[in-house]
Amino acid sequence: MSWLRRWAPELAVTVAVLAGSLFTVLNDGAKPAHHAALGWVLTVLGCAAVFFRRKYPLGVAALTLVSCALYYPLTDPDGLVLLAFAYTLYNAAAAGRIRGAALLVVAAMAGVAAGEISSRSGRHVDNFAFFLMTGWFVALVAGGAVAHYRAEAERTKEAEARTRATDERLRIARELHDVLGHHLALINVQAGAALHRRDPAQAEEALGTIKDASKTALQELRATLGMLRQAEPSLSRVAELAESVGASGLTVRTEIDGVARDLPPDVEHAAFRVVQEALTNVAKHAGAKTVVVRLGYGADALSVQVDDDGSGGDAPPGTGIRGMAERTRALGGELTAAPREGGGYRVRARLPVR
């Protein structure tokens, strides 16, 4: 019965037009019908056109108007073909063809006016009926336009909800990558060091670093998954990052240009993640000995720069640099990541401060 639900409006209009027209003919008494066959052909044509209103909303409305324009002057008695035009007029406006539907109203009323002026048998539509018909047609177009804009608003709301959900998934994905990637990279480096160190004291130190890194990773993972705002990363924790990376044998220096100050949480969050991911890449790929993290506090922007003295070269493919770039662009900033002329690698981000 799904087809019945799909075509229910069209079937209802068709039944109403045909039943109303038949009732009019039967109720006309002994008066002979005038061009009855033509009238029924036009009636059936108007009803059949209704079933194409979804695919051709404006064309179907225009076709039913033509059926009415031929039916009423040429046949007698008057049936309900006008109902099919009214329905398709509303449908055209509801489908977004509002201007075209309004032009059809103008054409319809202009045709009625022209027919009344040229009629030799007196007026068939008085002034009240003329204005009433105009008002009904305008109301149908207005109602269809309201339905159209309401549907558009719903679609826009759904699209915005989908966009927000997608952005949130990407944000969580970046968080998980940054949190787990950084600490797992340190664990991997320390595990490799422990395997190759024959001194039990050095191996114990590496295992202690692994323990601390895994504990921190679990804490940050819980904070990320639980959306705990009190655990929101900020630049105040850069020293912790430097210490954790330094445990792997790297020398990490932190330099500050300008006067450090509180920044918007989203800026601090993004800056922290850029530093974290850059240090993770150094620990995993660079083979560096020294890393310098520079934070520049400008009047209208924060600059984050991470330089290392490693092997340089192009960054390996992955989601790290892409994630840093996405975070930076989301705040209207820019990020560059490239080898330095004197050797090593540089990651630099500029984040506007609003």
Sorted by where each starts, the structural domains of the chain and their CATH numbers stand as: 2-125 (no CATH), 161-352 (3.30.565.10)
Strands (E), 259-315: 290-297, 301-308
Could you tell me which of 260, 335, 331, 253 has the C-alpha nearest to residue 298? 260
Output the pLDDT for position 9.
81
The pair of three-digit structure tokens given for residue 218, joined into one six-digit string: 């679990």
Output the pLDDT for position 230.
43
d(CA 239, CA 249): 16
Output the pLDDT for position 297.
92
The answer for residues whose C-beta is within 8 angstroms of residue 210's C-beta and 6 or more apart is: 186, 187, 190, 191, 194
The pair of three-digit structure tokens given for residue 206, joined into one six-digit string: 């590496």
Strands (E), the chain: 251-257, 290-297, 301-308, 334-339, 345-352
**Residues 71, 33 contacting (CB under 8 angstroms):** no
Cβ atoms within 10 A of the Cβ of 180, count?
15
What CA–CA distances, in Å, run from 335 to 67, 172, 173, 323, 353?
65, 20, 19, 11, 15
| Region for 291 from its dihedrals, namely left if φ exceeds 0, alpha if ψ lies in -120 to 50, beta otherwise | beta
**Residues 81, 120 contacting (CB under 8 angstroms):** no
Output the pLDDT for position 75.
80
Output the pLDDT for position 33.
62
d(CA 302, CA 309): 23
d(CA 276, CA 271): 9
- Spans of the chain below 70 pLDDT: 1-2, 25, 28-34, 77, 119-124, 168, 175, 179, 182, 195-198, 219-233, 286, 312-319, 354
Output the pLDDT for position 225.
61
Determine the 3-state secondary structure of 345 from DSSP: strand
d(CA 348, CA 292): 12
Give helix then strand counts, H and E, for the chain: 11, 5
The pair of three-digit structure tokens given for residue 320, joined into one six-digit string: 């790290």
